Amino acid sequence: MSEFELINQWFMGKGSKRPDVLTGVGDDCAITRVEPGCDLVVSSDTLVEGVHFPVDTAPEAIGHKLMAVNLSDVASMGAEPCWANLCLTLPRMDSDWLAGFARGLDGLATEHQVSLIGGDTTRGPLTLSLTIQGQVPHGQALMRSGARPGDRIYVTGNLGDAALALAVINGLVPMDPHTFDVVRERLDRPQPRVAAGRALRGLASSCVDVSDGLAADLGHVLDASCVGAIIHLDALPLSDVGAEYLASDPGRAMALSGGDDYELCFTVPEAAAFEAEEALTCLGLRCSWIGKVEAGSGLRCIDASGKRHDVAQAGYEHF
């Protein structure tokens, strides 16, 4: 199978068919039409085997995750995802792998009305890169820089399950296989909070997606907004499995610093708090009030007894 047959078979016409795609896969560039009155948002993310996903990860999960981590960035801006470009580096031609990968990518793209409009295909160590584009009404994107002292800090969903799965895979935490399946699903198939991001337009003062751990990603918001914050550790939302396994962890380190959650962390002025909570409840999404923005700088974390805990705020860094 040639490079072009590979593209035609696995990546031509994937995702949603959108009327704003004038030319998709097949020409030197794709052509799309941005809606009048909208700003374009663009983001790229790369997955490297052994770094961003365990070596034994199913190809379908890799395809899903590549789309999910990019959608999560668009979600955090409150934007509507539209178009994606896929850059694929493969060690060899493997039809079974490609079929699974394309299925995972296509499934989540279609669910979120994203059209795969182009990319590049090369041979080398397995590396998967996606660039996603979305649109948002002029000036309405949710930025990291808008948090103000007094704003409430919220997070969607639950934290720490993906980090827990990774700890089990790395032999650091024992877990029975059935329970492991639950958290492995959270590691392999994160659900990007696209609808939540859109619902928070005009309500949230800032927003970030939690990819490197809550402490690290909220830290970016605090730096960009020139503010500090206090977080209540007992308010961090945990799943049933998370509650069981992380109960003995007084600093809630996995929920606070573990990566790969792909939830949204956002700030809301007090006056808009009720409306924001309602908006997410209408989507059936858990939304937890975990702390408050303060004047100053840095993140303070306190437990139920008021004791302060130091957090590893760095998150995962490649260099």
User: Which of 26, 296 has the CB closer to ligand ADP?
Assistant: 26
CA 157 to chain centre: 12
Of the candidate spans 51-59, 91-99, 106-114, 115-123, the one that interacts with ligand ADP by CB under 6 A turns out to be 115-123
Most distant CA pair in the chain, distance: 64
Does residue 88 touch ligand ADP according to CB under 6 A? yes
User: Which of 75, 86 has the CB closer to ligand ADP?
Assistant: 86
CA 83 to chain centre: 17
Q: How many residues bind ligand ADP (CB under 6 A)?
A: 13
Q: Which pair of tokens denotes residue 188?
A: 């392999």
Does residue 118 touch ligand ADP according to CB under 6 A? yes
Does residue 7 touch ligand ADP according to CB under 6 A? yes
Output phi, psi for 318, to 5 deg: -80, -25
Instruction: Report CA Rg, the chain.
Output: 20
Does residue 116 touch ligand ADP according to CB under 6 A? yes
Q: Which pair of tokens denotes residue 246?
A: 């992380």
In the complex, least distance from residue 268 CB atom to ligand ADP, rounded to whole angstroms: 38
CB-CB contact of 229 with 294 (8 Å): yes
In the complex, least distance from residue 210 CB atom to ligand ADP, rounded to whole angstroms: 28
> Among residues 46, 110, 121, 140, which is the contact residue for ligand ADP, using CB under 6 A?
121
> Among residues 35, 120, 223, 278, which is the contact residue for ligand ADP, using CB under 6 A?
120
User: Which of 20, 244 has the CB closer to ligand ADP?
Assistant: 20
Does residue 11 touch ligand ADP according to CB under 6 A? yes
Collect all residues with Cβ–Cβ distance below 8 Å to 225 and sequence separation of at least 6. Answer: 144, 145, 146, 147, 148, 206, 293
For the segment 20-39, give every residue that binds ligand ADP (CB under 6 A): 25-28
Nearest-CA neighbor of 169 among 158, 185, 180, 182? 180
